[in-house]
Structure 1
Amino acid sequence: MAPESDPTARLTSAMIVGALRRRVAAAGGFATVLAKGDEISGVILVQTLEKGQETGLFERVPNFAGGYALMRCGPSPAEGSESLSHYVTRRRRADPDLWLIELDVPEAERFAAETIC
């Protein structure tokens, strides 16, 4: 008899990041881990680009339905890369277990939302 699956089991952060990287690569995009966090439960930040142009920074956050959502965070792309760098540095200082993954693919936000939520 096969063991029953645990309904509270969830994918690790490392597995989610790996799946996201593979999906983006399969679509002809580029994905790289800029900062590796805790393998099991590190917070995931996704920096999105399209053709090298910054389009946003998003965080995977728990939602009220028991799942996850992708929420825009940090400075807007119009504020420049220096603002983004300062924001990420502050976040990593406060939470060294945080992941930062960069996606450069059309509709990067959609890829992230479909994969990590």
Structure 2
Amino acid sequence: MEARLATSVLVTALMRRAESEGGFAAILSKGDSTAGAVIVILAEKGRNARILERILTPEGHYSWQDVGGQAVGNEEETEKFLARRRKFDPDIWILELDIASQERFADEMNAFD
């Protein structure tokens, strides 16, 4: 069995990375420190939000995938989406990262796993 990075370590690394680039990071919902699922809301200057979730692939690797669909860009729908996810999985982490280049940051997030 391959050792996996604890979720709390991953969350801390993502937050520090965003802050080191002059961005803002906030935990909206704290989950299980060892193996909780993670959702990241990426924004640039408070706009153009993307919602990404860390998904375990059938090959046993993690990948960040866009989720949220219609919730993206609509604050009310985003809140409803996140509430459903928290109800389904109370151990989920939800982070909000406001960074200068969300596309580049999203591409680099897979390097954390």
TM-score tier by shorter-chain length is 0.7 to 0.9
**Which residue of structure 1 lines up, in the alignment, with residue 66 of structure 2?**
72
> Cα RMSD between the aligned structures?
1.7
**Other structure's SS at 2:65 match:** strand
Equivalent-residue separation in structure 2 for 1:83 and 1:29 (angstroms): 24
**Paired residue type of 1:62:** L
Superposed, 1:97-116 pairs within 5 Å as 97-115=91-109, 116=112
Percent identity between matched residues is 38
User: How many residues in Structure 1 have an aligned counterpart in Structure 2?
Assistant: 110
Amino acid at match of 1:26: S
Question: Per the alignment, do residues 47 and 66 of structure 1 end up closer, same or farther by CA in structure 2, a change over 3 Å counting?
Answer: same
Compare CA radii of gyration and give the structure with the larger one.
1
Residue identity matched to 1:100: I
Per the normalisation by structure 2, the TM-score is: 0.87
- Superposed displacement of residue 112, structure 1: 4.4
Cα pair distance change 1:18/1:55, threshold 3 Å: same
Q: 1:113, CA displacement in angstroms?
A: 4.4
CA contact (8 A) 1:75 1:87 kept: no
Q: 1:20 to 1:112 in 2, by over 3 A?
A: farther
Task: Give the 4+ runs in structure 1 shifted more than 4 A.
Answer: none
2:14 matched residue in structure 1:
20
Give the structure-1-normalised TM-score. 0.84
Unaligned runs of 5+ in 2: none
